[in-house]
Amino acid sequence: MIEIGIIGGTGYTAGELIRLIIHHPKSNIRSVVSRSHPGELIHLIHQDVLGEIENLRFTTVIDKNIDVVFLCSGHGRSRKELNDISSEIKVIDLNQDFRISCQSFFNGRNFIYGLPELQKDSIKTSNNIANPGCFATAILLSILPLASKNLLRDIIHISAITGSTGSGRKHSDTNHFSWRNNNISTYKIFKHQHLQEIKQIIRHLQKDFSSKIYFVPYRGNFSRGIIATTYTYSEFPLDETISMYKEYYKNHPFVYISDINIDVKQVINTNKCILHLLKEENQLIIISIIDNLIKGASGQAIQNMNLMFNLEEDCGLRLKSVRF
């Protein structure tokens, strides 16, 4: 069994990790750190796991007898947390601290960008993973097949909407129910932090790419899920493009190409990404859907753990969607 530690145990991503790991056949939760709720029973915070981890309590320090630690304590805190982690323990960071290549080295650790559909082999041999952002995951999976064949040749336009859990568990004016309900808004237009990840990966695959990327993020009035619409110039027929996408993702168990229009509820509570491709005049349109807390965070983190420990990639992630 893989012995697991989690730091930052009360947030949404940590809660999803706990739920998933409870039912993962090859892993065991040994230690969950929360400095805001030390000594409290975990099921008093994550109340839906009552009856599944009756006696496990939050601690203030991580158990040293673990194989891998998941960092969920919040953006900007990972370096501090790593000061107390042995170099022999594998790390999967769900924060944004090590996602950009110029920031990926720390105390002898080299963090690999953990998008399995991009660099599965590198993840398998790495001890340190920077888990991608949720918007970045949905958008990159939309364009990886194009970038891998040097086919991004013009401006990329993106609009995407995320549920309120994307803002984290900490209260703010824009995730309060009375503000979010029956409401929608844009934020960080053309400046969202996940753009750095997207640009970095495109230029890694397609070094001569120099066109603009325009990204408009939206806050949605629902709890979880992301739908992203990306469009860019393409001279290739739609059927050839769809075949190229299916070929690219044929060995990746969580990405599917749909022949009909898609909606967010198809992927809620799963580690899937579903893509739907259209063509209007000379514009290729790619619609992408994921669950922001699973494929966009905790599920992808476990997918990375499976690869790091030479397990089946979908181990513990054969999940049922919540359609209704």
- Write the pLDDT tens digit of every residue in 208-259: 999 999 999 999 999 999 999 999 999 999 999 999 999 999 999 999 999 9
The Cα 78–Cα 73 span in angstroms is 7
Amino acid, res. 288: S
With beta carbons less than 8 A apart as the criterion, state whether 116 and 122 touch: no
Averaged pLDDT, 132-138? 97
Q: What percent of the chain has pLDDT over 90?
A: 87
Q: Give the count of beta carbons closer than 10 Å to the beta carbon of residue 229.
A: 18
Q: Is the pLDDT of residue 310 over 80?
A: yes
Would you place residue 96 in the very low, low, confident or very high pLDDT band (cuts 50, 70, 90)? Answer: very high
Mean pLDDT of the 178-207 span: 92
Least confident of 1-10, 16-25, 170-179: 170-179
| Mean pLDDT to the nearest integer, 34-62 | 92
- 6 residue type, one letter: I
CA distance 262 to 185: 22
Q: What is the pLDDT of residue 273?
A: 98
How far is it, in rounded angstroms, from Cα 296 to Cα 301? 9
Active-site residue identified among 72, 102, 134, 273? 134
Long-range CB contacts (< 8 A, 24+ apart) of 51-55? 52/22, 53/18, 53/22, 53/29
Average pLDDT over residues 127-154: 97
Asked if residue 172 has pLDDT above 90, the reply is: no
Amino acid present at 319: L
In one letter, which amino acid is 313?
E
Under DSSP, the state recorded for 119 is: H
More confident residue, 53 or 302: 302
pTM of the predicted structure, to 2 decimals:
0.95
| Domain range annotation of the chain | 2-131+297-309, 134-290
User: What is the model's pLDDT at position 153?
Assistant: 92
> What is the residue-averaged pLDDT of the chain?
94
Per-residue pLDDT for 303 more than 90?
Answer: yes
Query: What CATH number has the domain spanning 134-290?
Result: 3.30.360.10
pLDDT(266) > 70: yes
Whether the pLDDT of residue 165 is over 90: the answer is no
How many angstroms separate the Cα of 312 from the Cα of each of 65, 209, 252, 302? Answer: 24, 35, 12, 11
> Is the separation of the CB atoms in 143 and 136 below 8 Å?
no
Average pLDDT rounded to a whole number, residues 169-173: 66
pLDDT above 80 (res 166): no
φ/ψ of 135, rounded to 5, equals: -60, -45
Could you tell me whether strands 283-290 and 185-186 are parallel, antiparallel, or unpaired per DSSP bridges? unpaired
Task: Say which residue, 170 or 225, is predicted with more confidence.
Answer: 225
Torsion angle in degrees (nearest 10) through CA of 24, 95, 300, 223: 90
76 or 160, greater pLDDT: 160
pLDDT at 168 over 90: no
What's the CA gap between 153 and 150, in Å, rounded? 8
Residue 82 and residue 108 in contact, taking contact as beta carbons nearer than 8 Å? no
Q: Residue holding tokens 């979010």?
A: 180
For the question of residue 273 being annotated catalytic, the response is no
Adjacent-strand bridge partners of 256: 274
Contact 160, 228 (CB under 8 A): yes
Task: Supply the Cα-derived Rg of the chain in whole angstroms.
Answer: 19
Q: Looking at the DSSP assignment, which residues form a beta bridge with residue 145?
A: none
What number does CATH give the domain 2-131+297-309?
A: 3.40.50.720
Sign of the Cα torsion 58, 13, 117, 259 reads positive
* HSE-up (13 A, CA, CB side) for residue 258: 18
Bridge-based pairing of strands 213-219 and 156-162 is: parallel
